[in-house]
Each structure stands twice: as structure tokens, then as C-alpha cells.
Structure 1
Amino acid sequence: MFNILLIIRTFVFEFTLNMKLTFYKYQGTGNDFIMIDNRTLFFPKNDTKLVAFLCNRKFGIGADGLILLENHEKYDFKMVYYNSDGNESSMCGNGGRSLVAFAKQLEVINNEAEFEAIDGYHYASIDENNIVSLQMIDVDSIKIEPNYTFLNTGSPHHIQLVDDLKKVNVKDEGAKIRYSELYGNAGSNINFVSQVTNDTFSVRTYERGVEDETLSCGTGVTAVALAMYANHKTDSNKVKLNVEGGELAVSFNEKNGSFSDVFLIGPAKFVFRGEIEI
């Protein structure tokens, strides 16, 4: 009996490794994601090597992350997010916005969505131009230091103002801070910021898990908007953010240092659909 079970398991394993995987590619201001409809729970969620392979830009599909859309007993769907290194990660704002557009394409939702991510409940809306407004978590604590600000918007973010954003070597400087004693083994995402106008900032982000600069980071620009307000760099509760991949906006309400009704707003676009053998 043991040998029979072993043969069956081996066959299933080999069959799984040679199956054709249907995927969808989405991007939100240049932050790109592999989307997989996993409502039947077929995807091997603990296979970090597979996720890393799929996200690899040389040998796989190529993406900053991979996202599974799954059923949820209470909400419209569940979001499961992996960084490009293959590990499940904390919240991804642009990924969440892209997943809402994907859910609409699958006809899981119409123009509004409620879903669960690793950091809890999220509400979102999507208009006819695929502009997605995603409600982020409330933020009650911001650490303000002389040279940087730190807060968690679903993912941890270090915010640092710089004089000349274009000259910053984001990969090298970001890695130094990400792996420094300041954040220990867990690390942090690192955002370099310059102010453009009272309500507009430019941002470049080093993302942990990707371990490089990305064209956009949703939780990052959300953190920047709140940090700039907390540091009295802006008095607007709707902040515009220029990123390498386009433009985003963040709106919020603030009371006694706490932020609520925080929305990340921007485009989420379908790129292509394909199949890959795994």
C-alpha cells in the first residue's frame, strides 16, 4: 500500500511540474505583477522556487511580484501576494489595485470590491478608465527622527528627504539602509523623496523582496504622503506622488496624529494573458 501511494504521489508531483499555467500580467504605474486565478486552489503556494522562477525576467515571465486571487467566505475575494524572491510578503498597494482590475476582468466584481489581504480588510472601487481607489489600513503611529520617518502602511517604510532625487543610487543606498542595524533581519522598504510643490512629491523606492528599485510602490507612496503631512511639509489631505512609472495620489483624513480613510488612487492596466509550462 505504501508503494502504491508513493507512486501516485510521484505521478501527481510530476504531472504538476509539467502542467500549463494560465496567467495574466498587470501593471500599476510600472509596478508589474503576475496574476493567477487560484479559486480552485491548484497553485502550489509553498513552492518559493516556482514563484521566483515565474517572476524571473530572464527565465520566467518577469514581474515584481505574483498574486493569487482566491475565494473568501465573507468578501469578494482574498489576495495572496508574493515578492519576486518567491516569499509571501506584506501588503502591496499597487498589487492590490491591480488585483481589483483583474477581479473585474474575471467578472468576480463589478465596480466595487471588498477583499482580504495579509494586513486585513480592504475596500476598493474601479471606474471606466481603470482608475482604482484602494482603501489602505489606518495608521496610528509614525516615528519621526531628524533624518528620516518610519511608518507601516501594510508594509514597513523608511522615508528620507533628499536634495537631488535623480542622483540617488537607489539600489545601493537603499540596500545599505534596508540591511542596516536600524531594521534588523526583517528589513524595511526605503523611500527617497523630494518635494515639488506644496501637495506634490517625487518618490523613488527600494523594495525589500525585490531587492532593487521598482518603478512604483503603492504602500511606499502612501507612507510618503502621510509622512510629509506629519512632518508639516504639506497641509493638503490629498497628495500627488510622481514615481518613475507615472503618477499616483493619496487621500486621507487626520485627527490627533492618526490617519484614517486612507486611499491609494491610480491606474491599473491589463498587459497580456499567456501560458507557461511549469
Structure 2
Amino acid sequence: MEIRFHKYQGTGNDFILIDDRELQFPDDLTVIETLCHRRFGIGADGLILIRNHPEYDFEMVYYNSDGSQSMCGNGSRCAVHFAKSLGMATNRTTFMSTDGPHEATIKEDIVSVQLYDVDSVEELTDGVFINTGSPHHIAFLEDVKNFPVVPEGKAIRFSEAYAPKGTNVNFVELEDGNAIFVRTYERGVEGETLSCGTGVTACSLAASLKGYKSPVIVHTLGGTLEVSFAVKEGGFSDIFLKGPATPVYSGLIDV
């Protein structure tokens, strides 16, 4: 079976986008793992199916590269851009994702997606835990650029504290100008990604506990994002993740 795909990246977080309005994509997780494999497939951090939805402009079905599912912030921004190219969305859209409906706006290649309110923040002895649609452990460090993200992130991700499902792990360095630098070990990818949307969002919210104000500028290895939010009792509301969503190439592949 031949499938047309589109490759996207959002600050280096890369995805395979497929128009699945005809529901023809095979229901086989091994296909997803193979397509995302960087040597035997197209190569991506995740795969996204765009489908029709009876109540919203479109539905985004997201898979990590290992076939597991979660909410994905950067993937959502790429999905909005792709859905608009298909004529399924306008400059303001509402779509269904893994954790429910989301609103988004798009202007050229800049997409802003609203995430759900965060009702609780867990301050830990070694950092902060915040769930922004996906679970995130956040540790504040110095010299994050030279930090061994993969071994240290893997140890926390598979630690007993987060068993059995594990967590994403973010290492954050505070910068001048209301900015932070973030590197992330992603659960489901099982390695470092150049950017993680729900991760940089969680890190920005955690930075507000250290006096940072909305909007927070977030630098990642893959580019720059902006996170805005309002502080509420015990948590945060009006959370938006904003940044570029960029088409890379398209092609055909047999599955």
C-alpha cells in the first residue's frame, strides 16, 4: 500500500504528517515504528494522522516513535499548519487531540496552541513535576548545554518514583531577559529531542515559581518558542505555546 506523507518540524521536533480522512492508514503499531525509524524509515520523533471530526475542524491522532500515544505540543502546531494546507482549518481553528479539544491560531508559519489549565504543581526535592497534557519532571541546573541529558534523563524517566508509566524529563537553565534554555529527554522517543512543546511549557510554568513572568522565551537546541500563561490559585490558566511549524518535504512510501 502506497501512502503520501509530509515531513514537518517544529523547532527541530520532527513529525510525519498523513492525511487520513479516508481512514486508510493501517492499524499496526509496527508500521508506525518503522516509518519513524531514522535508518529503516522516514525518520521522525512522532507520526500524526489528520482525520475528519464531527464536532471540530479536524482530529489529530498522535503517536510517539515507539507507537505510544500522548499529547504533543509541537506536533499540534505542525498539525494545525498541515490541516490548514488541506483546507480543513482557517487562521483560527479548534481540533481534537489525545487529551481533548484545543484551540489554535496560525499566521504564516507561526502557530499558537492553547493547552489545558494546570491545576497543581508538585515541588520536589530535586525539581518540579507538572503535567501539561504529558507528564514532566523539571530540574533547574547550570551549564545545561554540556549536561549528559540522555543518561541522566533516562535514569529519572525509568525511576521508581515515576513507575510504571514513567515521565518526560527536562533540564532547565535560567537566562537573562525572562528566558530559559531547555533540553528534554522524551518518553516514547527514549532519547533527547531538539525541542518538546509540552516540556518547554511545563518548564516555563516552573520558571514562574522563580520569578519569571509571562510570556517566557524558551531556547532549545532546535529553536525558540514562547509560552504565555496566567497564574491562578494552585496552578495556571490561559496557557499558550507559540512558535514556528515548518514543512520540510513530502513523498510516497510503501507500507
- In the superposition, the TM-score normalised over structure 1's length comes to 0.90
Q: For the residues of structure 2 that align with 1:204 and 1:52, how far apart are their CA atoms? A: 24
Q: CA deviation at 1:256?
A: 1.6
- Structure 2 partner of 1:99: 79
Does 1:252 pair with 2:229? yes
Whole-Å Cα distance in 1 between the matches of residues 232 and 43 of structure 2? 42
1:227 corresponding residue in structure 2: 206
Give me the whole-angstrom Cα distance separating, in 2, the residues matched to 1:191 and 1:233.
Answer: 19
Matched, 1:48 2:39: no
Partner residue of 1:184 out of 134, 158, 163: 163
Structure 1 stretches (4+) deviating beyond 2 angstroms? none
Matched letter for residue 143 of structure 1: E
Paired AA for residue 57 in structure 2: D
- Residue type of the partner of 1:92? C
User: Which is higher, the Rg of structure 1 or of structure 2?
Assistant: 1
Offset from partner CA, 1:160-213 (integer Å, 9 cap, x none): 011210221111110000001110020000000000125100000000110000
Q: How does 1:150-165 map to 2 (within 5 A)?
A: 150-165=129-144
Map of 1:202 onto structure 2: 181
Unaligned runs of 5+ in 2: none
Could you tell me how far apart the structure 2 residues matched to 1:57 and 1:251 are? 33
Aligned to 1:275: 252
Q: For residue 151 of structure 1, what is the amino acid of its counterpart?
A: I
Equivalent positions of 1:130-169 (< 5 A) are: 130-169=109-148
The partner residue of 1:125 within 72, 81, 105 is 105
Superposition RMSD in Å: 0.9
What are the within-5 Å matches in structure 2 for residues 81-100 of structure 1? 81-87=62-68, 89-100=69-80
Q: Report what 1:31 is aligned to.
A: 13
How many angstroms apart in 2 are the aligned matches of 1:113 and 1:26? 19
For residues 20-54 of structure 1, give each alpha carbon's deviation from its aligned partner in whole angstroms, at most 9, with x where no partner exists.
Answer: 11100110000000001111111123x11100000
Shift, 1:257, TM fit: 2.5
1-side partners of 2:165 and 2:177: how far apart? 33
Q: Residues of 2 paired with 1:165 and 1:97: CA distance?
A: 26
Letter in 1 for 2:162: Y
Show structure 1 runs of 5+ residues with no match: 1-18
In structure 2, how many angstroms separate the alpha carbons of the residues matched to 1:248 and 1:68?
Answer: 24
Q: Indicate the residue corresponding to 1:58 in structure 2.
A: 39
Q: Which SS does the other structure have where 1:94 is aligned?
A: helix
1:130-161: CA deviations, max 9, x gaps? 10010011100110123210010000000001
Q: Is the 8 A contact 1:198 1:233 kept in 2?
A: no
Question: In 1, Cα distance between the equivalents of 2:220 and 2:134?
Answer: 18
Counterparts of 2:94 and 2:54, CA distance in 1: 12
CA distance in 1: counterparts of 2:161 and 2:218, whole angstroms = 26
1:239 matched to 2:216:
yes
SS at match of 1:227: helix
